[in-house]
Amino acid sequence: MREPNTIFQNISLHRQVIVSIGILTVLNIAIGLYSFVVILASNQQFHKSILEGRTMANAIDTARLSQVHFKKQVQEWKNILLRGNDKDLFDKHLRAFNEEDQKVNEYLKSLSQIASSSGMSVPQIAGVIKVHEKLGHHYREALKKYKQTDIKSAVLVDKSIRGIDRQMTDDIDTMVLIIKNISEKRLKEMQSTVKTELEAYQILSFIMIFLVIASVGFGIYNARSITKDLPPEENRNNAKTE
């Protein structure tokens, strides 16, 4: 009888089977571990991209909200001067002015924290915060000169601080634009990274499929090579009988 024509032809049948099973096992474990590492890394990257996308969107929204509420604050200041001769309206608009002032402060501080935690370099935020604090101080100092019983008082107060909000308006507009540009750039980079990761993941998926097919083919080839030259079952039984 010819020896089995296999890559293990000089090894006993028992050892050939053990070696083949061992190789298949190692290949399957390697493929499984590799797949796990790739999937884990991809999931972490996707999770990071999602979080960064949310952070950038939050930064833009927060910057715009500070801008919107500052405009409302300025409008409430004008309402105080226009309708402040009525005590109820004076109190109403002064309260609204203070509320908007507080909201602007909160949004700017929140934006500063977002920028710091996300690694965004926007020094303009600190500048806007300082300008807004000074502006609030000037408004309140000017309001001390306002007299509800004197209509001319509103005109004098308005003249004393006319145009004082222009720097804040320009600074906050510039800040919003910078935040928007940085965020959009980050989002584009993130999208590009995710696209690259997906393409790499697809390639790796094909490689893993190929390795699985190769390992199965290797097992089938060796199984057939080991068994094809073995004597039939009935011959082996006869040999045992004899």
Residues spanned by the domain of 175:
13-229
In a domain, 177, yes or no: yes
Q: Identify whether 237 is part of a domain.
A: no
Per DSSP, the residues of 6-29 read STTTTS-HHHHHHHHHHHHHHHHH
Distances (CA, A) of 120 to 52, 159, 195, 204: 11, 39, 23, 33
Residue 235 falls inside a structural domain:
no
8 domain-assigned: no
pLDDT score recorded for residue 223: 65
DSSP 8-state class, residue 118: T
- Tell me how many domains the chain contains: 1
Q: What is the pLDDT of residue 20?
A: 67
Q: What's the number of CA atoms in the CB half-sphere (13 Å) around residue 78?
A: 10
Cβ pair 107, 66 in contact under 8 A: yes
User: Does 239 fall in a domain?
Assistant: no
Domain assignment present for residue 81? The answer is: yes
In a domain, 195, yes or no: yes
Instruction: Name the band, by pLDDT with cuts 50, 70 and 90, for residue 220.
Output: confident
Tens digits of residue pLDDT in 150-188: 878 888 998 888 889 999 999 999 999 999 998 888 888
Environment class of 64 (CB within 10 Å of its CB; exposed 0-12, middle 13-18, buried 19+): middle
Confidence of residue 4 (pLDDT cuts 50, 70, 90): very low
204 vs 215: CA distance, rounded Å: 16
In 3-state terms, what secondary structure has residue 141? helix
For residues 116 and 23, give the distance between their C-alpha atoms in angstroms, rounded to a whole number.
Answer: 52
| pTM assigned to the model | 0.67
Residue 68 confidence (pLDDT) above 70: yes
Judge whether 234 lies within some domain.
Answer: no
Question: Which pLDDT belongs to residue 77?
Answer: 94
Contacts by residues 104-108 (CB-CB < 8 Å, ≥ 24 positions apart):
104/66, 104/69, 104/70, 104/73, 104/132, 105/129, 105/132, 105/133, 107/62, 107/63, 107/65, 107/66, 107/69, 108/66, 108/132
